[in-house]
Structure 1
Amino acid sequence: MADSTLLSTDVVAPRDRAPQWREWVSKHFGGLQSDLYGDSEFDGHMQASHAGDVILTRLEANRHRVLRTPSMARTSETAYLKIVAPWQGSATVQQQGREACARDGAWVIYDTTGSYEIANPERVDHLIVMVPKDGLAERNLRFDGVMARRLGTSGISRVALETMRNTYQELPNMSPAAAQGAGELIKQLVHLSLQELSGLETAVTQREALRDRIRSHVQKNLRDPALSVDAIARALNCSRRHLYNAFGGEGESIAAYIQRLRLQACIRDLQQAGPHARPITDIALSWGFGNPSHFSRVFRDHTGKSPSEFRGG
């Protein structure tokens, strides 16, 4: 039987759950910062098992975000490629200037040796798979351009998704030798999925390339209040229709994407407390919100609190 580790906030006093969860997440995943969107109540559960040197973790938790800074990436002991495959909820991964969102039926892969950010804006039930990077690098697989990509909807990446899920569920019934073999199969399927992704030049990858250009332009011009779909279309020399097609299936429009990034930036600034904390209106204006009333309304819709309530903690 494969070894298993269970961590649950059910055994922790309610007031201590959030800090305990942050500690568990940081330790289990090799160094991460996390926050809970300002929520005061939280519950979460993690159960991890090993298939050889592949780590599979089922994570069930209230909404939360995690961040790996460049300094955290440098101090990590083991290099992994990490996969998030939701059963419930969604996960949006940002890395290397790209962003990919996965829901049930898809997975996103990212590299723990670089910085990244993951948003889980609703309650989630995720399978998280950590594959040692060295084992894939030995197969001469290039990782440039294939991180923060959505896979699993068809082809070999769909086979990989079902194999990862089935392996996690059956690990309690496997011998150590069988578990190790299952881990090797997962590594092979992940390798084939990335190999297929990096070698394709189809309408899908062309659309992903345009989506990358859109995101890059938005991130560079996020503070500009004139940033809009029309402005992006002019800057990238393409039609509005092409922009909308590129974002098809992402679960949000380009305008919603811009607003979400602006709100995330404002949240980070509002979390900077102390005597030199900037006024709320200045923060909103600096991130492209031209109307303070509109900012307060969308901020409350996003966080459940007004900006001043959020800052007050």
Structure 2
Amino acid sequence: MTERLNKGRASLDAFGLVDYMSALFGEVKVDTGQEFAARVRSEHHQDVRLMRIAAPAHSGASDGVVQTSAIAPALICSYQVSGRLNLVQHRDHSSINPGDIVIYRTDAPVELRFDGRYELVAVTVPLGSPMMRPLHSRLDSVWRLPADDPVASALGLSIDAVERGLSRSPQTLRTRMIEHSVGAVEILVAHAAGTVATPQSRDSNLLQQALRVIDERLRDPSLGVDLIAAALFVSSRRLYREFHASGMTVASSIRQRRLERCRSDLTDPLHASRSLTEISSSWGLTSPSHFSLMFHGAFGCPPSEYRAKNGNA
């Protein structure tokens, strides 16, 4: 029989992935000659998702247009546990066998055909995430890493093991386990692209990315470690470690940047008519008394005195 996956058994609805899969793959048809039944399991952190799918033969196609605004265009890194996948994207035809890894995008037309029962584990990472940006221009084809590739073999088994252990792990550790899988995807993407990803370069890059997020959102009074970590798809704990290793803290970095912007505005003729409170509030410092104390500590005098000395009183 043939039926649409998004109208399949209710058990799929219970996992909350029917709409998600439809958004990724468009109209997914199943033709098995029997009632279609799939097992789908998923965990997610922010917009990163780790999922396992076991299902009978079916085929699917997507025009690359995401059908819901709740799901961002993503890169899929899929480890084939069993069965065989035939995938076509960018006119690249790939046959994916057990132990192979395939990497492809959801924002480009794709055709998938599973010839028999299969199982796979996949990690989806938004294309707009920081780890994808340096490699974005390279992600223009399907990448297949065979089972006999030592990097693919080690990291594919690692992602498989992490997914199997998630449901039995404390909730407090699941986020870090998903981050482990994202790190594996980063290495696999770099490996497939012919580049090198090292912990040192990733950490240095993370710190620079965090500082860019701070600069971009400096006017937001709620800016803090949780907001920055969410924007970068990492844990707050990891962000604290990166800043600490560089002799910095998240709070001091935000504070110093805000005070520098305020100092600049205090001496800018374009802001001569604005009050101290207006200037400090525009940079996320909403307490006038606290702003005055911090400014004095950073620059040796109150903001009003600094403004007067620099000819903008």
Deviation at 1:152, TM superposition (A): 4.9
Q: State the secondary structure of the residue aligned to 2:8.
A: helix
**What is the rounded CA distance, in whole Å, between the counterparts of 2:111 and 2:100 in structure 1?**
18
For 2:111, the aligned partner's letter is E
**What is the rounded CA distance, in whole Å, between the counterparts of 1:17 and 1:112 in structure 2?**
19
Give CA-to-partner distance per residue, 1:145-196, whole Å, 9 cap, x none. Answer: 5534235532333222122101101112333442222222222222222212
For 1:80, the aligned partner's letter is A
Which residue matches 1:194? 189
**What is the rounded CA distance, in whole Å, between the counterparts of 1:75 and 1:34 in structure 2?**
19
Native 8 Å contact 1:171 1:179 kept in 2? yes
Which residue matches 1:298? none
Structure 1 residue 27 and structure 2 residue 28: aligned?
no
Number of equivalent positions: 187
Per the normalisation by structure 1, the TM-score is 0.51
In structure 2, the CA distance between the partners of 1:19 and 1:44, relative to structure 1 (3 Å rule), is same
Select the structure of larger CA radius of gyration: 2
In structure 2, the CA distance between the partners of 1:131 and 1:89, relative to structure 1 (3 Å rule), is same
Unaligned runs of 5+ in 1: 1-13, 201-313
**What is the rounded CA distance, in whole Å, between the counterparts of 1:166 and 1:102 in structure 2?**
20
For 1:192, the aligned partner's letter is I
Deviation at 1:42, TM superposition (A): 2.0
In structure 2, the CA distance between the partners of 1:186 and 1:15, relative to structure 1 (3 Å rule), is closer
Native 8 Å contact 2:42 2:51 kept in 1? yes
Residue in structure 1 matching 2:125, options 107, 123, 131 = 131
Native 8 Å contact 1:84 1:91 kept in 2? no
For 2:127, the aligned partner's letter is K
Which residue matches 2:102? 108
Which residue matches 2:75? 81
The structure showing larger relative contact order (alpha-carbon pairs under 8 Å, at least 6 residues apart) is 1
Q: State the secondary structure of the residue aligned to 1:134.
A: coil
Unaligned runs of 5+ in 2: 196-313
In structure 2, the CA distance between the partners of 1:16 and 1:99, relative to structure 1 (3 Å rule), is closer
For 1:124, the aligned partner's letter is Y
Deviation at 1:75, TM superposition (A): 6.2
Q: State the secondary structure of the residue aligned to 1:36.
A: strand
**What is the rounded CA distance, in whole Å, between the counterparts of 1:18 and 1:101 in structure 2?**
22
In structure 2, the CA distance between the partners of 1:70 and 1:80, relative to structure 1 (3 Å rule), is closer
Matches within 5 A, 1:24-173: 27-29=19-21, 30-31=23-24, 32-37=26-31, 39=33, 41-50=35-44, 53-72=47-66, 77-135=71-129, 136-140=131-135, 142-173=137-168
**What is the rounded CA distance, in whole Å, between the counterparts of 2:3 and 2:95 in structure 1?**
30
Deviation at 1:140, TM superposition (A): 4.5
**What is the rounded CA distance, in whole Å, between the counterparts of 1:52 and 1:173 in structure 2?**
20
**What is the rounded CA distance, in whole Å, between the counterparts of 2:93 and 2:70 in structure 1?**
23
In structure 2, the CA distance between the partners of 1:184 and 1:99, relative to structure 1 (3 Å rule), is same
Per the normalisation by structure 2, the TM-score is 0.51
Native 8 Å contact 1:85 1:161 kept in 2? yes
**What is the rounded CA distance, in whole Å, between the counterparts of 2:75 and 2:108 in structure 1?**
10
Native 8 Å contact 1:17 1:42 kept in 2? no
In structure 2, the CA distance between the partners of 1:144 and 1:130, relative to structure 1 (3 Å rule), is closer
For 1:78, the aligned partner's letter is A
